Structure 1
Amino acid sequence: MNARESITVDVVAVEQLTPLIKRFTLALPDGAPLPSFSGGAHVLVSMQDGEQWHHNAYSLLSSPHDTRQYRIAVRREEASRGGSAFMHDKVAVGTRLAIGTPANLFELARDAKRHVFIAGGIGITPFLAQLAEHQPEDLELELHYAYRSPEHGAFVDELNAGPHAQRTQCYVDSEGQRLDLLKLFKNLPADAHVYVCGPQGLNDAVYANAALLGWPKAQLHSEQFAATDVAGNGFTVVLAKSGIELEVGEDETILKAIERAGVTVESLCREGVCGTCEVPILEGEADHRDQYLDDDEKAAQKTILLCVSRSLTPRLVIDL
């Protein structure tokens, strides 16, 4: 199977973990094993809401050693573009969904023995599968999990009862517990690899503190669970190969506008980090909002990532 294939699954369990987070258990209708995956992987969930489709990527948080079921967790977003609201309001036991085969953009560094996880809120999800995949005697895994208040600490009980409990530290903001990133980096051995998943502010803070100590960027890894801002002024996008012209709404991504027109574009992450939806720009200028292109590539205005970036010009022509 490849990442483009679609798998039909049934929702076999729904759990309300916190006021904002639900966990969904997915299985094949015939009960057969699902495709294998490794810790840090995600699946793209496609949801049909009337005539509208939503496509959201969610980390797999179940054990890679048991593929009879997949588990994902969805946080209800206040500024939901449709996907999280659909999952919370319209998905129940018995609902049938389409998912893509697992893709992993957040794997553990090969040959490294010390791995330090930093999670903020729902950013805990990719680390759950990574913890389940490895026993403490196999790798040194250390988790730092920050969340707003006790009622929002999803998975805390499971983490405290798991094999990595002794290497797990929680920080509850409402109780005045703050993660001191600079202190953390100062105490890490030089060969450790650090992984962060959470809001953009947390990701930026990890990289900023690491830079203060000259930490090698090659030993830093990040995954952002939601794009920071994909909204802006509306514009026209032209698909040069087909001649299709589309209006991209103020709170709509180019990718979603293209999918609304029935055109399929591969995008594994949909968050501007993997580069699979990169296409050449033929006319116009992009408002780059991705984490994939470097500064020189963005300045060159040669390509654009359709999942998060917008247009600086009223009309944008792309090679698609």
Structure 2
Amino acid sequence: MNTLTLEVVGVDDRVPGIRTLSLARTDRGVLPSFTPGSHVVIQYAGGANAYSLTGETTAPREYVVSVLECPQGRGGSRWIHRDLTMGSLVVAHQPRSAFAPVQRATRHLLVAAGIGITPMVSHLRSARRWGRDVRLLYIHREGRGAYLDEIASLTDHASFFTDRTAFLTELNPTLASQPFGTHVYVCGPSQFIDDVVAAAADAGWPPSRIHVEHFGGDLAPGDPFEVQLSRSGDTFTVGSGVSLLESLTARGHTVSSLCHQGVCGECRVPVHSGVVLHRDLYLSADERADTMMACVSRGSGRLELDL
């Protein structure tokens, strides 16, 4: 897997609890371009995590990410907030995206909560560059909104909320009044995503026009599902709140892993048959046809794996 060694060339702590880093090559050369909605995986001691890229997408000199400090998390955000300073070096994987804007969309409706605004910033940049119709609804805690000034400079069609009731009052009629061919993109905490997706479904939106991006590790426990391994014949049940990766490891099967959050691509396993509920941030649509990420994705009913 291709990686980049990047230097911290900018640190912005103006929004409480959110640290924004600017990362550049040590020789200050051009970095790989990326699709709007892309993330970059940054490694830290014992793991890795994905952070949405918010800067320029084409031939950038810097990658910009914003990281919410999560004291009870796996440690990546604590490391970024407490240990990284100007001049620190980090190892990052090249950008990937499972949350790109659909070019044929009539309109792009962006709905974000908290740090879930980060992938939307590159969506807004793209929409402005290409003259696409875009709307944004953004709810955040008072004094904790990220990129507010930048959003205002990128679009005249953004609505900001610090009150849940006011947000929901705006959300439902907004979902109901979009022109045919609009696609909606949702990012934020799991419950927020579930609520917005449910509201969109109630308003008649087809699943093909609803796109979501979960935070790494911020996933519901999911329902139990059965697994059969085609090579060994081993059959078992993966319980709610237990990952396929954990179940495979407990039964003596060795699966390479790193991040445990569906962002690094290490724990990919081949799928022979069954319905997969993909919850990763790594695999492309084509790759999802016959593989899954064992650390976060689940089955619906019964899966047969080529293991």
> Do Structure 1 and Structure 2 share a fold, with TM-score over 0.5?
yes
5+ residue gaps in structure 2? 222-230, 233-240, 281-289, 299-304
Partner residue, 2:201? 211
Counterpart of 1:114, as a letter, is R
Q: 1:113-262 counterparts in 2 under 5 A?
A: 113-135=106-128, 138-149=131-142, 151-160=143-152, 162-164=153-155, 166-173=156-163, 177-180=166-169, 181-228=171-218, 254=245
Match in the other structure for 1:284: none
Q: What is the deviation of 1:190? A: 2.0
Distance 2:89 2:130 in 1: 39
Kept after mapping to 1: 8 A contact 2:127/2:133: no
The 1:201/1:78 distance shift into structure 2, 3 A limit, reads: same
Q: Secondary structure at the match of 1:270?
A: coil
Match of 1:32 among 29, 44, 51: 29
For 1:227 and 1:203, how far apart are their aligned partners in 2?
14
Q: Which amino acid aligns with 1:173?
A: D
- Please state how far the C-alpha of 1:113 moved relative to its aligned partner: 2.8
The partner residue of 1:14 within 11, 15, 38 is: 11
How has the CA–CA distance of structure 1 residues 167 and 100 changed in structure 2, closer, same or farther, with 3 Å as cutoff?
Answer: same
Task: Give 1:142 deviation, angstroms.
Answer: 0.8
Residue pair 1:122, 1:225 contacting (<8 A) in 2 also = no
Q: Structure 1: how far apart are the matches of 2:9 and 2:37?
A: 23
Distance 1:137 1:110, change over 3 A: closer
Report what 2:83 is aligned to. Answer: 90
- CA distance in 2 between partners of 1:252 and 1:22 (Å): 30
Structure 1: gaps (5+ residues): 232-239, 242-249, 282-287, 293-301, 311-317
Q: 2:42 aligns with which of 35, 40, 45?
A: 45
Cα offset for 1:67? 0.6
How far the C-alpha of 1:196 sits from its partner, in A, is: 0.3
Counterpart in 1 of 2:261? 270
| Distance in 1 (alpha carbons) for counterparts of 2:41 and 2:196 | 27
Distance 1:35 1:266, change over 3 A: farther
The 1-side partners of 2:220 and 2:191 are apart by: 16
Whole-Å Cα distance in 1 between the matches of residues 58 and 219 of structure 2? 36
Instruction: Please provide the CA RMSD for this pair.
Output: 3.6
Tell whether the 8 Å contact from 2:105 to 2:183 is kept in structure 1 after alignment.
yes
After TM superposition, give the deviation of residue 319 of structure 1 in Å. 7.1
Separation in 2, partners of 1:254, 1:96: 30
Mark the CA change 1:67 to 1:252 in structure 2 (over 3 Å): closer, same or farther: same
TM-score, scaled to structure 2: 0.75
User: Secondary structure of the equivalent of 2:150?
Assistant: helix
User: Deviation string for 1:68-109 (max 9, x for gaps)?
Assistant: 011001000132111011110101111100001110110111
Q: Which amino acid aligns with 2:99?
A: F
**TM-score of the aligned structures, taking structure 1 as reference length:** 0.73
* Aligned with 1:70 (options 59, 63, 75): 63
SS of 2:168's equivalent in the other structure is: coil
User: Aligned in 2, Cα 1:92/1:144: closer, same or farther, shift over 3 Å?
Assistant: same
Query: Secondary structure at 1:73's aligned position in 2?
Result: strand
Cα distance change, pair 136–229 in 1 and its aligned pair in 2 (3 A): closer
| Partners of 1:199 and 1:226 within 8 A in 2 | no
Quote how far apart the aligned CAs of 1:170 are.
0.4
**Separation in 2 of the partners of 1:84 and 1:253?**
25
Please give the per-residue CA displacement for 1:101-160, whole angstroms capped at 9, x wherever unaligned. Answer: 1101101113113100001100000111121123277100111111121x1111112222
SS of the residue aligned with 1:86? helix
Secondary structure at the aligned position of 1:152 is classed as: coil
